[in-house]
Structure 1
Amino acid sequence: MSAQHLTKAFVFGVAGFVFRDWLALMLAMVAAGFLGTWLGLRLLHRLSEQRFDTLFKWALTLLALRLAWLGVARLLGPAG
């Protein structure tokens, strides 16, 4: 992954992307990824496999329902 990201960074730099303008956001994203991974691993060690499976299925179901709701709302247009 690092090789792919470095290659993309090089290409974007050659294309004129100014990394300095986005450095704070990129660092915040790296920190959030690190924190999320750390918290996720701690949570996984505390949950049983059955409990995780149940929570994961509920999370996917809720996300799917939200996506369906947004799709229907967009099809029907603005309310009122």
Structure 2
Amino acid sequence: MPAALLPKPQMRGLLARRMKFHLLGAFLVSMGSASMYKFGVAEPRKRAYAEFYKKYDPVKDFEAMKAAGVLESAPPK
């Protein structure tokens, strides 16, 4: 009695079928990464900058740098 024959592997359309799966996976991973970056990095950074510039006084900062001698064009008094 011959040994059980293995079924032939599907060769026609194999690349196209696997490509659909991998393209969908790549799209989902990239969208997930982009949204994690947006909500984990970009939005908190925007809020931090907005909060900083609400309280920022450029004249006061200029006077502090001038008093410290950082600016060569504006010597301290």
What interval of TM-score do these two structures reach, taking the shorter chain for normalisation? Answer: 0.3 to 0.5
Larger Rg: 2
Q: TM-score, normalised by structure 1?
A: 0.36
Higher helix residue share: 1
Q: TM-score, normalised by structure 2?
A: 0.37
